[in-house]
Chains A and B, each alone.
Chain A
Amino acid sequence: GAGVSQTPSNKVTEKGKYVELRCDPISGHTALYWYRQSLGQGPEFLIYFQGTGAADDSGLPNDRFFAVRPEGSVSTLKIQRTERGDSAVYLCASSVAPGGGTEAFFGQGTRLTVV
């Protein structure tokens, strides 16, 4: 596709349930990032993939959060045993490569609401 695609656009789940959020980056972009944005705040870094591997997962808040990118393209962010505090907009971004002045392009986000 022409841009970064995220599905679903909205997700409402009950506390304790498992959710998966999907990101389809721009074709040819090797770098993929997940960010989380709470209301009234700027996005906060969660995890960065270069190809298939997670090069930096230091932003994941705890071990309930996990992300994969098995074929170096589509990525899935997985949240186990969801809590109300996980409610936020989850943003995915991709770039041609990390660094070198490359621009990051963001998707429309998935708004997660845990009730």
Chain B
Amino acid sequence: KQEVTQIPAALSVPEGENLVLNCSFTDSAIYNLQWFRQDPGKGLTSLLLIQSSQREQTSGRLNASLDKSSGRSTLYIAASQPGDSATYLCAGILNDYKLSFGAGTTVTVRA
């Protein structure tokens, strides 16, 4: 079974600081890794999908990397804004369809 861990569980930074969110997984046979954002009381919004053949993906201020050999993925958010405050979840896919989620990192960006 794929175990996914996200550290830290919570993070508070001043506006403008770059964010670094970590995700580790136990099975290097991971197929894809997907990062999501969840606002309080809401569903999940897909941010980035990294396929196993890729090492990183970028979208605007977001950049996610994937290192299968070390079992790690990192989400970078440049120049954070108060609107970036949310919980960020990573999820690995082993067998084509089943997402294994971490518990998330709750980010607060202080104005």
Contacts and interface: CB of A to CB of B under 8 A. Distances in A.
B44 A43 contact: yes
Contacts of A42: 4, 89, 91, 101-104
B49 A43 contact: no
A107 B100 CA distance: 17
Contacts, number: 62
Contact of A104 (B99, B102, B104): B99
Interface in B1-33: 4, 31-32
A62 to B, nearest CB: 19
Interface residues on A, range: 20 to 34
Nearest to B52: A101
B99 to A, nearest CB: 6
A99 interface: yes
Contacts of A55: 97
Interface of B: 4, 31-32, 34, 36, 41-46, 49, 51, 89, 91, 93, 96-104
